[in-house]
Amino acid sequence: MRERFFRQNEGFVEQSVGGETILVPLVDSVAKMNEVITLNELGTFIYHMLTERRSFSELVKSILDAYDVEESVAVNDLNSFISEALKKKIIFEEN
Is 95 a member of any domain? no
Is 75 a member of any domain? yes
**The pLDDT of residue 33 is above 60:** no
Is 17 a member of any domain? yes
Domain, as residue range, for 68:
5-90
SS3 at position 20: strand
Tell which residue, 65, 64, 57, 54, has the closest CA to residue 91: 54
Query: pLDDT, tens digit, for every residue of 3-27?
Result: 999 999 988 889 998 888 999 888 7
Count of structural domains within the chain: 1
Per-residue confidence (pLDDT) for residue 18, from 0 to 100: 83
Is 79 a member of any domain? yes
Query: pLDDT, tens digit, for every residue of 42-68?
Result: 999 999 999 999 999 999 999 999 999
